[in-house]
Amino acid sequence: MSPLLDTLLQAALAAGAVILHHYEAGTPATAKADGSPVTEADREAEAVILAALRRFDPAIPVVAEEEAEAGRLPTAESTRFFLVDPLDGTREFVGRNGDFTVNIALIEDGVPVAGIVFAPVCGRLFLGEAGRAFETAVEGGHAGPLHPIAVRTAPARPVAVASRSHPTPETSAWLASHAITQTVSRGSSLKFCLLAAGEADVYPRLGRTMEWDTAAGDAVLRAAGGRVVTLDGAPLRYGKRRQLDEADYANPHFLAFGDPAGERWLAPTPASAAAV
């Protein structure tokens, strides 16, 4: 394992331990300015991750969800920076269904080149960089052996993954227009990881996300051989600031898939075109 991935692994494990402590204690949530929930687990896990990344290389800027919410963003823009969501899926955390993750990614020139996604409750941890992706089981706060993962060839009846907490009519219309009848609803970045591990095939996201929501899962999926593209087929990019009609670091709608032949799902149909 590279020093970078080892740093991300140790940071994610430490953050996961903080989150599990609050999960077991039943930490309450408050509302942010945009109405989304936040807890002390989010804040404390983010502090743990930020400290670990500073120890690794204090020169690499970090864009983290709770820091961004507080208006604390890097003053100078950089083509190389970390993106952090300390607790992706706070609604799942509050709802106590276990579908939440720790997300950390490294971005270079708009591309997520390394990332880690850790689901503390189920103990699944995914990481990847440089065309290599792995999964490991975490027990008692310790990661086991790494097992390589890769996307699969889409079967005749592909399986889609969709957001558990943020379903949209547009997503339902897209699935219907592409005759996809098998859908698994999951929270957080686990949707990307199911594609990376060959357990599902396509993830249409026709709803709002932020870069820290997607970067780590995107990195793992790309390392496993998959792709994440906007609806016009261009790779989803990171570091989007000064957008005309959106906030800094907001994503457009996108499509993630494992099988390279998944580009066929970009072909417009009357129903999907109307929905988008």
Tens-digit pLDDT string for the chain (276 aa): 899 999 999 999 999 999 999 999 988 889 888 778 899 999 999 999 999 999 999 999 999 999 998 889 887 788 999 999 999 998 899 889 889 999 999 999 999 999 999 999 999 999 999 999 999 999 999 999 999 999 999 998 999 998 877 778 888 889 888 889 899 988 889 999 999 999 999 999 998 899 999 999 999 999 999 999 999 999 999 999 888 889 999 999 999 999 988 888 887 654 434 333
For residues 199 and 161, the answer to whether their CB atoms sit within 8 Å is no
pLDDT, position 147: 97
Residue numbering of the annotated binding site for Mg(2+): 65, 85, 87-88, 213
pLDDT at residue 49, as a whole number:
98
- 123 and 33 within one domain: yes
Please give the pLDDT value at position 56: 97
**251 and 271 housed in the same domain:** yes
Q: What is the pLDDT of residue 261?
A: 87
pLDDT, position 35 = 77
Binding-site residue ranges for substrate: 65, 87-90, 213
Structurally, how many domains does the chain consist of? 2
- 175 with 123, same domain? no
- Residue 164, pLDDT score: 72
For residue 229, how many other CB atoms are within 10 A of its CB? 17
Residues in the chain, overall count: 276
169 is a domain residue: yes
Buried b (16+ CB within 10 A) or exposed e, 127-158: bbbeebbbbbebeeeebeebeebebbebeeeb
Q: What is the pTM of this model?
A: 0.93
Asked whether residue 153 is domain-assigned, the answer is: no
228 and 267, same domain (yes or no): yes
Domain ends where: 104, 119, 148? 148
Position of tokens 């590279």? 2
- Give the structural domain span for 260: 159-275
In degrees, to the nearest 5, what angle opens at C-alpha 46 toward C-alphas 41 and 48? 100
Q: Specify binding-site residues.
A: 65, 85, 87-90, 213
For residues 31 and 141, state if they share a domain: yes
Give strand pairing partners of 124: 119, 137
In-domain check, residue 193: yes
CB of 41 closer than 8 Å to CB of 23: yes
Residues 32 and 138 in one domain: yes
Q: Are 215 and 105 in contact (CB under 8 A)?
A: yes
Res 269: pLDDT: 54
Check residue 236 and report its DSSP letter.
P
For residue 30, what is the domain's CATH number?
A: 3.30.540.10
Q: Across-strand partners of 210?
A: 250
